[in-house]
Structure 1
Amino acid sequence: MTRAGVGDDDGVDDGALRPATETRTIAIPVDQVDGECWPAHSHDDHELMWAVSGRLSVTTPEAHFAVPPGASIWIPAGVEHEVRAEAGCRLQCTWLARQADLPELRTTSVLVTPPLFDRVMEHLLVAALDPAERRRAEVFAVDLLRPSRTVDVDVPRPRTPALVAVADALARDPADRRTVQEWAAGCAVSTRTFTRAFQQETGRGFAAWRRDLRIRAAMQRLAAGEPPGAVARATGFSAQASFTTAFRETTGTTPAAFARAAARWTQAPERAS
């Protein structure tokens, strides 16, 4: 197996995760005891990243993504992204060479990969594969990947720098209880101007956007095995009942049912490392 470190000396900014140059399909285990953030960067190949344990988040110019344990995030080639691994996170990355146009994977997406994908990855990590074998396996591996609505909630990212700062602050701390009036004052605009701009840039009102952000963060914590009551408090809901209602309205299932499903993902055979 070929592994690359962090910030290889290849002209890329230090701290950006990069694949080795001699192969385009690799797996890199990275343990983040103290937590770490890799600034915005991009890759020439498609990237698949997942947290073996702990919490992992990815930010692109278009959206915030919280990746639950047992799920993966697909980042198409050329997409700029920032990666944040919280303390204790163990993540892995795999890069796949550019494939034919795949409508389902044109944008950054959260996935639940089937066990067969893990076996294909093990096959790809065999150094003796000739180029033709590797190409066939890569095409098959990508064909197994499909976005999963069961683990993803759309949280668009605004474009105006002041609103981006608000969105990024809430992504770091979904439980932040500042009111819309306080956020607007921090941006030095009226509440009406703030809410109108947020609606125009994200396609939804500020309250709805923040609820979806909290639900996405809650999915990540539930998948990590945290109890629903603790998850409700950690993500800013005033009571477990309101959390359950919001979660069901957004995802179509309850926090407890989601946690049971997530337990099945995390019990799947571990990906090649």
Structure 2
Amino acid sequence: MTIDLDPLLDSIDILTTADGAHWPAHAHDDHELLSAISRSVTVVTPEAVYIAPRGTSVWIPAGVVHEVTAAPGNTMRCTWFEPDAGARLTGRVVVTSVPPLLDHVLAELGRYTDPARRARAEAFALDLLADSRETEVGLPTPGSGWLREVTDALIADPADRRTVDVWAAQSAVSVRTFSRQFAAETGMTFSHWRAELRLQLAMSMLANGTEVGRTARAVGFESLAAFSAAFRRRSGVSPRVFARTHGSMTDSRA
């Protein structure tokens, strides 16, 4: 479904991914607000990975190369803003909250046939978007191809338990070189980066309704107690409480 809008918005597209979907690296002439309505969305740029849980949006400025992965059963809303409209918004990729009022305005824009009324509604939507709260910072990714292969593999399988020693050997460098270069390019140690990736993905899975035990195993924790402790340190609440407040809870063990 496409609703043609003008002058601040080009269109609004509603997409459903029954079996999940992946869009390879690409860029747009317009700014994109990609809203994860029913499941999570992951956006990867050359600089970082952004994990947007259900109910949040990713702001992607025009010209930014990115790839998108949507969870199965997801409904997404892609709102396309004219390049000039972006002057009022940030020039970097961010994950933001979506206030209910902004959701309502975007859903109703297609009903506005009067140009003046629609222009006011579009301007109001931009004001709401500009005031949206940034919920998660992107997880930096390295620029070197050999290190990017490592982070890409972990994004695809966060339960991968290969150690720094193994990754360094597979990259044909010393552990010291691997560790130093990884920290230089991401600003984080390898262990910190992997831990943060796992916990961000865990939050996304729990918001999608994945049970706590299954989430823990999927992101590489053998012990549910260890997962719960790490999750609480990162988010301030237990996985069970997070799942109850952010998604459908199907596993009471945590």
1:253 lines up with 2:237 in the alignment:
yes
Q: State the Cα deviation string for residues 172-225 of structure 1 (Å, max 9, x = none).
A: 111111111111122111111111111000001000000000011001111011
Work out the number of aligned pairs and report it.
245
Q: Specify the SS of the correspondent of 1:48.
A: strand
1:195 lines up with 2:191 in the alignment:
no
Question: TM-score normalized by structure 1?
Answer: 0.80
Q: Which residue of 1 aligns with 2:93?
A: 108
CA positional deviation for 1:163? 0.8
Which among 134, 141, 147 is matched to residue 157 of structure 1? Answer: 141
1:228 lines up with 2:212 in the alignment:
yes
1:78 lines up with 2:75 in the alignment:
no
Which among 36, 48, 63 is matched to residue 48 of structure 2? Answer: 63
Unaligned runs of 5+ in 1: 4-18, 265-273
CA positional deviation for 1:240? 1.8
1:169 lines up with 2:153 in the alignment:
yes
Q: Could you tell me how far apart the structure 2 residues matched to 1:61 and 1:136 are?
A: 36
CA positional deviation for 1:251? 2.5
Q: Could you tell me how far apart the structure 2 residues matched to 1:22 and 1:172 are?
A: 39
CA positional deviation for 1:54? 3.6
Does the 8 Å contact 1:63/1:155 carry over to 2? yes
Q: Which residue of 1 aligns with 2:134?
A: 148
Q: Which residue of 2 aligns with 1:268?
A: none
Does the 8 Å contact 2:206/2:247 carry over to 1? no
Does the 8 Å contact 2:31/2:59 carry over to 1? yes
Unaligned runs of 5+ in 2: 249-254
1:262 lines up with 2:253 in the alignment:
no
Query: Which residue identity is paired with 2:211?
Result: P
Map 1:14-163 to 2 at 5 A.
24-97=9-82, 98-99=84-85, 101-102=87-88, 105-126=90-111, 128-130=113-115, 132-145=116-129, 146-149=132-135, 152=136, 154-163=138-147
Does the 8 Å contact 1:30/1:92 carry over to 2? yes
CA positional deviation for 1:113? 0.7
Does the 8 Å contact 1:222/1:231 carry over to 2? yes
Cα-Cα RMSD: 2.5
Q: Residues 211 and 93 of structure 1: is their aligned pair in 2 closer, same or farther, counting only changes over 3 Å?
A: same
Q: Which residue of 2 aligns with 1:9?
A: none
Q: Percent identity between the aligned chains?
A: 45
Does the 8 Å contact 1:42/1:79 carry over to 2? yes
CA positional deviation for 1:106? 2.8
Does the 8 Å contact 1:25/1:124 carry over to 2? no
Q: Specify the SS of the correspondent of 1:99.
A: helix
Does the 8 Å contact 2:30/2:81 carry over to 1? yes
CA positional deviation for 1:161? 0.6
Query: Which residue identity is paired with 2:121?
Result: A
Query: Which residue identity is paired with 1:211?
Result: A
Q: Specify the SS of the correspondent of 2:33.
A: strand
Q: Could you tell me how far apart the structure 1 residues matched to 2:5 and 2:127 are?
A: 23
CA positional deviation for 1:166? 1.0
**Structure ranking higher in strand proportion:** 2
Q: Residues 87 and 225 of structure 1: is their aligned pair in 2 closer, same or farther, counting only changes over 3 Å?
A: closer
Q: State the Cα deviation string for residues 226-272 of structure 1 (Å, max 9, x = none).
A: 222221111112212222222222233332232233139xxxxxxxx
Single out whichever of 233-242 and 214-223 deviates more from structure 2: 233-242
Question: TM-score normalized by structure 2?
Answer: 0.86
Q: Specify the SS of the correspondent of 1:39.
A: strand
Q: Could you tell me how far apart the structure 2 residues matched to 1:143 and 1:258 are?
A: 30
